[in-house]
Amino acid sequence: MLYVLRLTSGDCIVAAARDENDARDCATHLGLETGESIATVRELPQFTLRFSPTEMGSLEVNSWSDATLDDILAHEYPALDEAFRSANSAEFMSSPNLNGPLIDRLRKAYERNTEIIRKGLRQEQERFSSAQVLKTKRAAPNNG
């Protein structure tokens, strides 16, 4: 099975493993940064990735399927996914305004959309931060 593991740093690891515990072991063996931990684990329904050899003799990721990216965005990065959808659905520019230069209006519209996406990224970076995980664990009911 393929698993995607969301880390508290905001990174994700994709691992092929027999079960969730083996996937966690794979991520740990890959090396977690200091203070980083696994926030969520789930099975990845599909994953398509294309590698290309480089002139230096290594491999680089050439592309991956839109379905793979959409699935990872929707499940591991929902705030960022929503920001992309919001930025893409927002009117890029209002009706033509003959009073201002077109390049300035384009720049402002681009900056507005970029800030929507940056806000979603900041939310994702905070979502599984160590402080958030601790706050969530303390708020959970005690079953013991």
The reported pLDDT for the residue numbered 95 is: 60
pLDDT level of residue 136 (50, 70, 90 thresholds): very low
The reported pLDDT for the residue numbered 92 is: 61
The reported pLDDT for the residue numbered 104 is: 79
Q: What is the pTM of this model?
A: 0.69
Could you please report the per-residue DSSP string of 60-98? EEEEE-HHHHHHHHHHH-HHHHHHHHHHHHS-SS-S--T
Mean pLDDT for the chain overall: 83
pLDDT digits (tens, 9 = 90+) for 47-89: 998 989 989 889 998 898 999 989 999 999 999 999 988 887 7
pLDDT digits (tens, 9 = 90+) for 100-112: 677 877 788 888 8
Adjacency order of strands within the sheet including 2-7 = 12-16, 2-7, 38-43
Q: State which H helix or E strand residue 17 sits in.
A: none
pLDDT level of residue 141 (50, 70, 90 thresholds): low
What's the DSSP call for residue 119?
A: H
The reported pLDDT for the residue numbered 26 is: 95
The reported pLDDT for the residue numbered 143 is: 46
- Structure tokens given for 63: 């592309």
